Amino acid sequence: MAKNRIKGYYTYFYGDSTETTEKRRPVSNAAPIEDLSHVDPGTRARYFRDNLYPYSHRMTNEEYYNNKFPLQVELVKLQKWMRKTGERLIILFEGRDAAGKGGTIRRFMEHWNPRGARVVALEKPSDVENGQWYFQRYIEQFPTAGEIVLFDRSWYNRAGVERVMGFSTDREYREFIHQTPVLERMIVGSGIRLIKFYFSVSRKEQKRRFKRRKKDLLKQWKLSDLDMKSAAKWDAYTKAKKEMFFYTHTPAAPWIMIKADDKMRARVNAIRHLIHTTDYEGKDESVASSPDPWIVASVEDVYEVLTRQMPVGSADPNGKGPELEVLSTA
């Protein structure tokens, strides 16, 4: 019965799939894995580091809807449980430009009650905010009891665009990497659930999406002059990303990488990670299974992180880790 309802959900949007054959679209940077059931840790880490994609083709619309529908049912259950128990949740969506963060956020929010879930996408700081503690304007957006807050970019702007484009000083950056693990440990210690997603997209796929945005009259607002300047600094952003992971991936607030060259797989697996790692009333374990290990990975399985060597929050803001260096803003 449930399977028929899911099938009907897809057919409502795309018609009867028995009458038409949907063309499978290739994925940028594809390096197909023959046996996806065998997860070799070394190969998996290399695929995440080098932006290689383990599937040759993108998920079809039918596959997508047949996966998304039951997962969104679980999201509704999760929110209902959170409102009932007063639990609080923050999800950070970070990643390169055009990595699919916004589309994934919309799929999370699609069937949630907007009175208990909201998206925060802050503009650049005002003059007043520039005179405040860096984290202050983000903390003001934190959830109350029973609420979910999704940050479309977050305080990690300081580790990404501000770091690479020279919008913050080296001292401000060092203070940030010192304070962030301590702040996030306090957030989690206060009872707020914190999930940090990083959406990883290949350079080839990013260029393809930028081209489409230029031509699409409804999406041109997504493409700014800063986006184009940032695209030319691919290597600098890679260094900044690795530094960010090294200093801010902690047991209390780990980073979760999502391979996003296929947006549909990225959305499905991001949702699956949340419901798999959260215990809530009425959870269907057959739906809330673990995400695809070739699409989702903890950063510590891919990169070296500081918490393997030192306690959380013990980094010296004036010291230098193995990846920490001044990035050129030229």
| C-alpha to C-alpha distance for 226 and 196, rounded to whole angstroms | 24
**CB 249: neighbour CB atoms within 10 A?**
24
Domain presence at residue 248: yes
| C-alpha to C-alpha distance for 65 and 110, rounded to whole angstroms | 13
Q: What is the CA radius of gyration of the chain?
A: 20
Domain presence at residue 203: yes
Model pLDDT, residue 286: 97
Model pLDDT, residue 229: 81
Instruction: State the CATH number of the domain containing residue 289.
Output: 3.40.50.300
Give the count of domains, the chain.
1
Q: What is the bridge-based pairing of β-strands 255-259 and 192-200?
A: parallel
| C-alpha to C-alpha distance for 161 and 113, rounded to whole angstroms | 32
Domain that holds residue 278: 27-302
Domain presence at residue 2: no
The answer to whether the beta carbons of residues 294 and 33 sit under 8 Å apart is: yes
Domain presence at residue 106: yes
Domain presence at residue 35: yes
Domain presence at residue 286: yes
Domain presence at residue 234: yes
Domain presence at residue 167: yes
pLDDT in tens, the chain (330 residues): 455 555 555 555 555 444 445 688 999 899 999 999 999 999 999 999 999 999 999 999 999 999 999 999 999 999 999 999 999 999 999 999 999 999 999 999 999 999 999 999 999 999 999 999 999 999 999 999 999 999 999 999 999 999 999 999 999 999 999 999 999 999 999 999 999 999 999 999 999 999 988 888 888 887 888 888 888 999 999 999 999 999 999 999 999 999 999 999 999 999 999 999 999 999 999 999 999 999 999 999 999 888 544 444 444 444 444 344 434 333
Model pLDDT, residue 11: 54
74 SS3 class: helix
| C-alpha to C-alpha distance for 49 and 286, rounded to whole angstroms | 31
Model pLDDT, residue 214: 85
